[in-house]
Amino acid sequence: MAEVPRIALHDGVEIPQFGFGVFQVPPEDTEQVVTLALEAGYRHIDTAAAYQNEEGVGRAIDASGLRRDEVFLTTKVFNHDHGRDRTLRALDRSLRRLGFDYVDLYLIHWPVPSKDLYVETWKTLEELRDDGRIRSIGVSNFSPDHLERLERETKTTPSVNQVELHPYFQQPELRRFHGEHGIATEAWSPLGQGHELGDDTIGAIASDHDKTPAQVMLRWHLQLGNVVIPKSVTPERIRENIDLFDFELSSDELDRLAKLDRGERLGPDPATFEAP
């Protein structure tokens, strides 16, 4: 079983730095896929109400034989559930689907600035944390201006900001902001949706280490200090992705990878994303 390092968040909660994401895993496959991940050594599962597969995640954890406190579980409140009353009901529904009475990390999935409700939603997460139904509270896809507003108008700085991040979209300014404010950077789409696996630089580094391009990219995230949550439904890839702890990238290799940044965003822009 892989020895996955843990990162202490600013609220004292520890998060496994390497986890398993279930975005776009079909609901009917989720239980089996998460079971494979847990068997491979993953102890951090990231889901969301919007993924429509929380039930399968909960069943897999429950059937694993692991204690609930051995698995770090994240879910998220989606855009149409912003606002205090809707957020309270959204967490109730997520916990019911998961089959547990708390989650380790609850995130606001997108800021949806046009609704201007993310501050109210954040204050509701503070209440839910204080009630013991959430251990740590964070956000996803927030920009520095959104984060600064939370710091001005609420009592708590997010423990985590989960954002799109991969070698062609490295977000150095946002990562620097996170470092200055004690916010952990968590990377979604850490492999750039597969588009960067054929990159010559990544391929050459992978060859030098007798590793795959995906393993090099994931190791790069770990050495940057990111929390990373790759997704796969293939058993071999699930096991391969977590096999990262027997090699290190050199400072020269990290420099070469840093030069790959193109500012190429693959997902929606948080400033304009309006999905219901």
- State pLDDT tens for residues 24-69: 999 999 999 999 999 999 999 999 999 999 999 999 999 999 999 9
Convert the pLDDT of each residue in 180-239 to its tens digit: 999 999 999 999 999 999 999 999 999 999 999 999 999 999 999 999 999 999 999 999
254 within a domain of the structure (yes/no): no
202 within a domain of the structure (yes/no): no
**Cα torsion angle, 227, 117, 48, 80, sign:** negative
What the block records as the tokens of 98 is 């998961």
Q: Work out the pLDDT band at 275, boundaries 50, 70, 90.
A: confident
Query: CATH no. for residue 178?
Result: 3.20.20.100
111 within a domain of the structure (yes/no): yes
Residue 42 annotated in active site: no
Yes or no: say if 242 and 42 are a contact pair by the CB < 8 Å rule. Answer: yes
| pLDDT of residue 122 exceeding 90 | yes
133 within a domain of the structure (yes/no): yes
- Which one from 51, 102, 106, 118 is the annotated catalytic residue? 51
229 within a domain of the structure (yes/no): yes
Mean pLDDT of the chain: 97
Residues spanned by the domain of 27: 6-189+225-239
In whole angstroms, what is the distance from residue 48 CA to residue 23 CA?
Answer: 8
| pLDDT of residue 143 exceeding 90 | yes
126 within a domain of the structure (yes/no): yes
β-pairing verdict for 14-16 and 20-21: unpaired
Q: How many domains does the chain have?
A: 1
22 within a domain of the structure (yes/no): yes
In whole angstroms, what is the distance from residue 7 CA to residue 214 CA?
Answer: 22
pLDDT, residue 202, reads: 98
What the block records as the tokens of 170 is 């490295």
Strand boundaries in the chain, DSSP class E? 6-8, 14-16, 20-21, 44-46, 72-77, 103-108, 134-140, 160-164, 184-188, 227-228
Name the DSSP class of 21. E
252 within a domain of the structure (yes/no): no
